[in-house]
């Protein structure tokens, strides 16, 4: 009996240890935001997406790339051709190799991919204490509840609770798995000056950059939603037509059946 009791106690402690380890490795459920792009009728808030582009350029782009995003894509969130060319011209990209075999650079064009902040992953790690900043092109699609997750992460920094073992160089954020993340808090009051005059609060900047990243990850969202509505309307009309056709076709058949029964 004593042997069995000792086994039970050992199993109990093991269960508690595993539960504690599991809890330590999980993250808080993301804050829930009522995004304009949610739902079957969802669409992008273009003003917010443009502000998000500004936040990305001035804040996020220092570390995070957008390897699936081209400058010309900005047309979908309301920028005209001249503005897109002007945005692209602010950056330099690799040009053609010259006649001597040397690499050249040129001003970016609308068809170019947004330039990465680092030449390669090793350079990125060296500049970020060994951590590799992830590409943000598909971030909101790569994470569960992605839009809310990115928003929560951006606004969720706080002091670590008592007893929490925060590693050197790490920052406490309950929305990140494990509670600690290498990226320090990025958004502060008035960090950017919005071109449309919107107050640049941390909450507003976080929502705007999520709106932009949602567009980058799923640029066809509005088209897909519109197509879905058209398909549903078509099916509704088709159902009505088929129902009426059935009534017209089967009416004489039913009438004949009733005649013979009488």
pLDDT confidence of residue 3: 42
Closest CA to 143 of 20, 29, 22, 24: 29
Cβ atoms < 10 Å from Cβ of 146: 19
Burial class (CB in 10 A: 0-12, 13-18, 19+), 122: exposed
Closest CA to 214 of 54, 31, 62, 36: 36
Confidence of residue 205 (pLDDT cuts 50, 70, 90): very high
pLDDT, tens digit (0-9, with 9 covering 90-100), for 137-161 = 999 999 999 999 999 999 999 999 9
pLDDT above 50 for 6 = no
Place of tokens 């945005």: 87
Burial class (CB in 10 A: 0-12, 13-18, 19+), 147: buried
Average pLDDT for 248-256: 71
pLDDT confidence of residue 98: 75
Average pLDDT, the chain: 84
Which stretches does DSSP call E strand in the chain? Answer: 92-94, 105-107, 171-172, 180-181
pLDDT confidence of residue 129: 83
Contact 27, 179 (CB under 8 A): yes
Place of tokens 């058209």: 230
pLDDT confidence of residue 141: 93
Backbone angles phi, psi at 28, to 5 degrees: -65, 150
pLDDT above 60 for 1 = no
Q: Which of 29-33, 70-74, 101-105, 241-245 has the lowest mean pLDDT?
A: 241-245
pLDDT confidence of residue 17: 37
pLDDT confidence of residue 148: 97
pLDDT, tens digit (0-9, with 9 covering 90-100), for 9-58 = 343 434 433 333 334 467 899 999 999 999 888 899 999 999 999 999 99
pLDDT confidence of residue 257: 58
Measured CA distances, 48 to 28, 45, 55, 65 (Å):
26, 5, 10, 20
């Amino acid at each position: 009996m004593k042997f069995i009791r000792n086994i039970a106690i050992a199993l109990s402690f093991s269960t508690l240890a595993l539960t504690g380890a599991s809890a330590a490795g999980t993250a808080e459920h993301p804050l829930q935001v009522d995004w304009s792009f949610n739902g079957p009728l969802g669409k992008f808030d273009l003003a917010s997406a443009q502000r998000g582009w500004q936040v990305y350029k001035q804040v996020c782009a220092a570390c995070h790339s957008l390897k699936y995003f081209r400058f010309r894509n900005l047309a979908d969130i309301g920028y005209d051709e001249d503005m897109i060319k002007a945005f692209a011209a602010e950056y330099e990209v690799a040009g053609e190799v010259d006649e001597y075999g040397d690499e050249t650079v040129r001003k970016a064009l609308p068809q170019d991919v947004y330039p990465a902040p680092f030449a390669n992953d090793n350079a990125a790690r060296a500049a970020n204490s060994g951590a590799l900043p992830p590409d943000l092109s598909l971030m909101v699609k790569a994470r569960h509840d992605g839009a809310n997750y990115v928003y929560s992460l951006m606004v969720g920094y706080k002091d670590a609770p008592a007893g929490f073992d925060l590693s050197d160089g790490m920052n406490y954020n309950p929305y990140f798995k494990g509670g600690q993340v290498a990226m320090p808090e990025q958004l502060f009051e008035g960090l950017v000056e919005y071109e449309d005059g919107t107050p640049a609060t941390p909450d507003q900047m976080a929502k705007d950059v999520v709106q932009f990243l949602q567009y980058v990850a799923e640029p066809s969202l509005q088209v897909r939603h519109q197509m879905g509505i058209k398909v549903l309307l078509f099916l509704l009309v088709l159902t009505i037509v088929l129902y009426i056709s059935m009534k017209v076709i089967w009416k004489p058949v039913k009438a004949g059946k009733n005649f013979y029964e009488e």
